[in-house]
């Protein structure tokens, strides 16, 4: 099984009306002007999409933070970039990141759900079969915060995730897609204000899963694959 993961693209729109900066968005755009716009070269995106098609994966997973401050134009730009890709590799799955629900209004009007409905599941937790013996569990951990970037699944979604994890039979596999990690390699710094609220409880459930588990996330802006040091 071949999966392709795209995360933390952070598309941005510099032409923003000042009125729309009267929120937490002012922090995102301040960071964007001073730093982030020089670190994300979106001119590479067409070549990236061609590379994904050339790899011929069975499914493309988007691990969130496709936008910088959850503006309509940011989501619309992503929709244009991935449209041809999804025509050749249908069935992509996107989970939102904290920047995709950067303001309380963006959550209230369901902005990412509406504009990117082609890849956003209608409800979470989202479970689907990838191929016989492997299933996908997609989680929505993005919640708006006034200051911090802490994520949360909430009680209802977490209960649903636990049911899905415990339903995996021995010998089968589970791919978990969530914007936030639930475990980090040694010596990678972490902070309460930047973490997933249920990370420890989710990690315990995954460690006890009867099947094999692959956990895919974004948020940290560093590529790696690692085995949790404290769990099998």
What pLDDT shows up at residue 227? 81
In this structure, the dihedral spanned by the alpha carbons of residues 98, 48, 73 and 181, taken in order and rounded to 10 degrees, is 0
Higher pLDDT, 220 or 60: 60
Which has the closest alpha carbon to 93: 156, 17, 175, 31? 175
pLDDT at 191 over 70: yes
Q: pLDDT of 62-79, one tens digit each?
A: 999 999 889 999 999 999
Q: pTM of the entire structure?
A: 0.89
What pLDDT shows up at residue 222? 82
Contacts of residues 115-122 at CB distance under 8 Å and 24 or more positions apart, as own/partner, are 115/72, 115/75, 115/76, 115/79, 116/66, 116/75, 116/78, 116/79, 118/79, 118/86, 118/92, 119/62, 119/82, 119/86, 119/92, 119/93, 119/94, 120/94, 120/96, 121/93
What pLDDT shows up at residue 17? 47
Q: pLDDT of 78-130, one tens digit each?
A: 999 999 999 999 889 999 999 999 889 999 999 999 999 999 999 999 999 99
pLDDT at 40 over 60: yes
DSSP line for 1-62: --EEEE----B--S---GGGGSSTHHHHHHHHHHTGGGT--GGGHHHHHHHHHHH--SEEEE
> Per-residue pLDDT averaged across 167-171, rounded?
96
Q: 98 near 65, Cβ under 8 Å? A: yes
Q: 218 near 64, Cβ under 8 Å? A: yes
């Amino acid at each position: 099984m071949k999966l392709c993961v795209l995360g933390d693209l952070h598309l941005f729109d510099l032409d923003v009306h000042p009125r729309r900066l009267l929120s937490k968005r002012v922090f995102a755009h301040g960071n964007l002007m001073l730093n982030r716009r020089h670190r994300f070269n979106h001119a590479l995106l067409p070549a990236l999409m061609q590379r994904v098609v050339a790899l011929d994966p069975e499914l493309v997973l988007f691990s969130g933070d496709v936008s910088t401050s959850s503006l309509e134009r940011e989501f619309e730009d992503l929709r244009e970039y991935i449209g041809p890709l999804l025509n050749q590799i249908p069935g992509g799955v996107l989970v939102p990141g904290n920047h995709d629900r950067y303001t309380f209004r963006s959550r209230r009007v369901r902005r990412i759900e509406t504009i990117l409905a082609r890849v956003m599941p209608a409800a979470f937790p989202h479970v689907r079969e990838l191929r016989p013996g492997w299933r996908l569990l997609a989680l929505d951990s993005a919640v708006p915060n006034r200051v911090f970037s802490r994520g949360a699944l909430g009680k209802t979604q977490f209960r649903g995730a636990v049911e899905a994890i415990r339903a995996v039979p021995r010998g089968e596999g589970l791919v978990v897609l969530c914007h936030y990690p639930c475990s980090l390699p040694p010596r990678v710094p972490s902070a309460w204000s930047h973490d997933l609220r249920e990370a420890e409880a989710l990690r315990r459930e995954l460690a006890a899963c009867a099947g094999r588990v692959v956990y895919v996330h974004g948020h940290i802006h560093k590529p790696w694959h690692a085995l949790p040091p404290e769990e099998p």
